Amino acid sequence: MDDYAHLNRTELIRRLQALESCEGQAASQPAKDALHDSEERLRAILRTAVERTFGFTASELIGRNVTALMPSPYREEHDGYLTNYLRTGHAKIIGIGREVLGQRKDGTVFPMDLAVSEVRLANRRLFTGFIRDITERKKAEQRLAELAHSLAEKNKELETIVYVASHDLRSPLVNIQGFSRELARACSRLRDRLVGVTCGEPEVGVLLDEDIPEALEFIQAGVAKIDLLLSGFLRYSRLGRAALRIERLDMNRLLALIAQTMDFQLKQAGAALQIGPVPDAPGDATQVTQVFSNLLDNALKYRDPARALQISVSGRLEEGRPTYAVTDNGIGIAREHQGKIFEIFHRLDPSAGEGEGLGLTIAQRIIERHNGKIWVESQPGKGSTFWISLPGLEHAKSQP
Ligand code: ADP
């Protein structure tokens, strides 16, 4: 005897019809029982789902048009849509699914996911709608969007504070710089005047010749360091304020131009640079140029003196997103430092060549403003690859 329990409803009906159509042979009792069980189960599910979601009892709805569960304009559009589908076979929801609005018995409207599937039986076509109340999900999405918005606002505010602070700190700093120089000059004049006088006062001589000039040098070095940091902050915060002019960038051309301007440094370092071909991307020409120049600059700066430097820039489309890799065979970056290098003023080895630890911070800021991503893969002693992924070209015309 067949075990019918595992068969789904459509299959059961199909088998029963097949059985009953065989001359003189009625459907077996187990098959009928299985169909009955299956129908009862379905009815129970429907009863609970419909009652809980829409507030109607099953008996209030059975036999009524499904439009009773929809608000306008879906209610008015529904029958026309169905007729159109039956005539043309052109589906907008059936087999596709989308977000629509449902209406409860008390008239309240709520968002829901609707998927409609079609079952073709021997002599009729059945449409089954699967709905899910997504009110909570929608609320969470709305809350997330609000949070993202307020985060962006806070970020802007912070950037303004950084900008104003670094701008305003500049002028007292220039004063300190100017007056410490003045003091150094005065000190040296005093020393000239006191030549001979200080012979009997060796302590005064040490003060004028060593202690005061040394203290002034420390002040000036400190001031220069603050100046460097402040101009870094200013550069960083200006970035966030500069308008982006997003257009379709011919990336092969853009990279070739960068390579051209770096030709001298590359030759001096005995470096081989290989580029592309790479896909185009949407972006602000000046800022994207800055990012790639920075990466190539770093590849040059952090090369391994033990081997000839090789740099390559490649690119491809990854799920529609132009994605680029700038690879070098330089000193590499230990895993534990890989996240830190994007932090402002973070340098792994402050004695390693010139730099203020700002290049990658700025690169990251630029790429994020383009709705892209930048990350690094690296092996110490082998080299690094900096990855950049930008939005698809359909964003080329939109202004953020
Ligand atoms: P800077 O180069 O001015 O120090 P960056 O923000 O560009 O600042 O880089 C931060 C740090 O990341 C560098 O000081 C260096 O330690 C490390 N780094 C960046 N690029 C590379 C690279 N291609 N190879 C090895 N280390 C790198």
Ligand 1 centre to CA of 295 (Å) is 9
Mutate which of 292, 344, 347, 356 for ligand 1? The one with the most ligand atoms within 8 Å of its CB, which is: 347
Q: Are 376 and 333 in contact (CB under 8 A)?
A: yes
Question: Which atom in ligand 1 lies closest to the alpha carbon of residue 386?
Answer: 23
Whether the CB of 360 sits within 6 Å of ligand 1: yes
Place of tokens 């070098």: 328
Nearest Cα neighbor of 262 from 232, 226, 293 is 293
Q: How would you class 93 by CB atoms within 10 Å of its CB: exposed for 0-12, middle for 13-18, buried for 19 or more?
A: middle
Ligand 1 centre to CA of 290 (Å) is 15
Closest C-alpha residue for ligand 1 atom 2: 355
Ligand 1 centre to CA of 104 (Å) is 60
Whether the CB of 228 sits within 6 Å of ligand 1: no
Nearest Cα neighbor of 233 from 170, 152, 157, 162 is 162
Whether the CB of 384 sits within 6 Å of ligand 1: yes
Sequence-distant (≥ 6) Cβ neighbours of residue 233 within 8 angstroms: 162, 163, 165, 166
Whether the CB of 361 sits within 6 Å of ligand 1: yes
Pairwise CA distance, residues 48 & 37, whole Å: 17
| pLDDT by position in tens, the chain (length 400) | 445 555 565 665 666 555 555 444 555 777 778 778 877 877 777 677 778 889 988 888 888 888 889 898 888 888 888 888 888 887 777 777 788 899 999 999 999 998 888 888 888 888 888 888 999 999 999 999 999 999 989 988 888 888 888 889 989 999 999 999 999 999 989 888 887 665 667 788 888 888 999 999 999 999 998 998 898 888 888 887 788 899 999 999 999 999 999 999 999 999 999 998 999 999 999 999 999 999 999 999 999 999 999 999 999 999 999 999 999 999 999 999 998 999 988 888 888 778 888 899 999 999 999 999 999 999 999 999 999 999 998 876 644 4
Name the pTM for this structure. Answer: 0.67
